[in-house]
Structure 1
Amino acid sequence: MTTRTLWGGAATALTLALALSGCGGDDKKTSSAPATNEGRGPITFATGKDLTGTIQKLIGKWNTAHPKEQVRLVELPEDGDQTRQQLVQNAQIKSSAYDVIRLDAVWTAEFAARRWVLPLDESKLDPSTFVPAALETGKYRGKLYAAPWLTGTGILYYRKDLLKDAGVNEPPKTWADLTADCDKVKKTSAGKGVDCFAGQYDKYEGLTVNYSEAVQSAGGQVFDASGKPQVTSPQAKAGMQFLVDGFKKGTIPAKGVTLKEEEGRRAFQEGKLVFHRNWAYVYAMAEATDGSSKVNGKFDVAPLPGKDGLGSGTLGGNNLSVSAFSKHQATARAFITYIVSLDVEKEYGTEQSFPLSRSALYDDAAMIKKYPYLPVLKKSLDAAKGRPVAVKYSEVSAAIQDNVTAAITGKKSVDQASADLQTALSGLTD
Structure 2
Amino acid sequence: MRIKRSMARRAVAALGVLALAGSLAACGDSGDDSASGAKPDKLTGVGPITLATGKDTTGTLNEILADWNKAHPDQKVTLTELPEDADQQRQQMVQNAQTKSDAYTILNLDVVWTSEFAANGWVEQLPEKQFDMSKYLPPVIKTAQYFDKLYAAPYASDGALLYYRTDLLKKAGVDKAPTTWDEMTADCQKVLKLPAGKGMSCYGGQLDKYEGLTVNFSEAVNSAGGEVVGANGKPNVNTPAAKKGLDFLVDGVKNKTIPKDALTWKEEESRRGFESGKVVFLRNWPYCYALMANKKDAGNKVAGKYGVAPIPGLDGPGKSTLGGHNLAISKFAKNKKTALDFIKWFTSEKNERTWLTKNSQAPVYGSLYDDPALQKQFPYLSTLKQSIEKAEPRPAIVNYGDATAAIEEQAYAAISGSKSSAQALKDLQDNLTKITSKDK
- Provide the TM-score with structure 2 as the length reference: 0.88
Write the deviation string for residues 352-402 of structure 1: whole angstroms up to 9, x where unpaired.
332222222222233334433323222221221222211111111111111
Write the deviation string for residues 25-53 of structure 1: whole angstroms up to 9, x where unpaired.
76777798522343241141313345566
Write the deviation string for residues 310-337 of structure 1: whole angstroms up to 9, x where unpaired.
0011122121112223343333323222
> Partners of 2:224 and 2:191 in 1: how far apart?
25
Query: Which residue is 1:78 aligned to?
Result: 83
Query: Which residue is 1:388 aligned to?
Result: 395
Write the deviation string for residues 260-319 of structure 1: whole angstroms up to 9, x where unpaired.
222222221111211111122222232233333112121111110011110011122121
1:89 and 1:407, CA in 2 relative to 1: closer, same or farther beyond 3 A?
closer
1:36 and 1:54, CA in 2 relative to 1: closer, same or farther beyond 3 A?
farther
1:232 and 1:85, CA in 2 relative to 1: closer, same or farther beyond 3 A?
closer
Query: Which residue is 2:50 aligned to?
Result: 45
What pairs up with 1:204-283 in 2 under 5 angstroms?
204-283=210-289
Query: Contact 1:24–1:429 (CA<8 Å) still a contact in 2?
Result: no
Q: Gaps (5+ residues) in structure 1?
A: none
- What amino acid is the match of 2:433? S
> Partners of 1:248 and 1:50 in 2: how far apart?
35
1:101 aligned onto 2:107? yes
1:182 aligned onto 2:183? no
> Partners of 2:117 and 2:199 in 1: how far apart?
47
Q: How many residues align?
A: 427
> Partners of 1:232 and 1:293 in 2: how far apart?
41
SS at match of 1:168: coil
> Partners of 2:385 and 2:269 in 1: how far apart?
25
- Which of 143, 147, 172 is the aligned partner of 2:149? 143
Shift of 1:60: 4.9
What pairs up with 1:11-26 in 2 under 5 angstroms?
11-23=9-21
- Which of 296, 302, 313 is the aligned partner of 1:295? 302
1:173 aligned onto 2:179? yes
1:328 and 1:6, CA in 2 relative to 1: closer, same or farther beyond 3 A?
closer
Shift of 1:184: 1.8
Query: Which residue is 1:371 aligned to?
Result: 378
1:114 and 1:396, CA in 2 relative to 1: closer, same or farther beyond 3 A?
same
1:291 and 1:307, CA in 2 relative to 1: closer, same or farther beyond 3 A?
same
- What amino acid is the match of 1:232? N
> Partners of 2:163 and 2:58 in 1: how far apart?
25
> Partners of 1:256 and 1:83 in 2: how far apart?
22
1:112 and 1:321, CA in 2 relative to 1: closer, same or farther beyond 3 A?
same
Following TM superposition, where does structure 1 have runs of at least 4 consecutive aligned residues deviating by more than 6 angstroms? Answer: 24-32
Query: Contact 2:87–2:211 (CA<8 Å) still a contact in 1?
Result: no
- What amino acid is the match of 1:385? E
Query: Which residue is 1:397 aligned to?
Result: 404
1:123 aligned onto 2:121? no
More displaced stretch, 17-26 vs 358-367: 17-26
> Partners of 2:69 and 2:204 in 1: how far apart?
45
- What amino acid is the match of 2:37? T
> Partners of 2:230 and 2:276 in 1: how far apart?
40
SS at match of 1:158: strand
Query: Which residue is 1:417 aligned to?
Result: 424
What RMSD over aligned residues (CA atoms) do the two structures have, in Å? Answer: 2.6
Query: Which residue is 1:310 aligned to?
Result: 317
Determine what percentage of the aligned residue pairs are the same residue. Answer: 47
More displaced stretch, 28-37 vs 103-112: 28-37
Query: Contact 1:285–1:293 (CA<8 Å) still a contact in 2?
Result: no
SS at match of 1:95: coil
Q: Gaps (5+ residues) in structure 2?
A: none
Query: Contact 2:56–2:81 (CA<8 Å) still a contact in 1?
Result: no
Query: Which residue is 2:339 aligned to?
Result: 332
Query: Contact 1:14–1:213 (CA<8 Å) still a contact in 2?
Result: no
- What amino acid is the match of 1:13? A
Query: Contact 1:148–1:357 (CA<8 Å) still a contact in 2?
Result: yes
> Partners of 1:171 and 1:35 in 2: how far apart?
55
> Partners of 2:58 and 2:244 in 1: how far apart?
42
What pairs up with 1:155-166 in 2 under 5 angstroms?
155-166=161-172
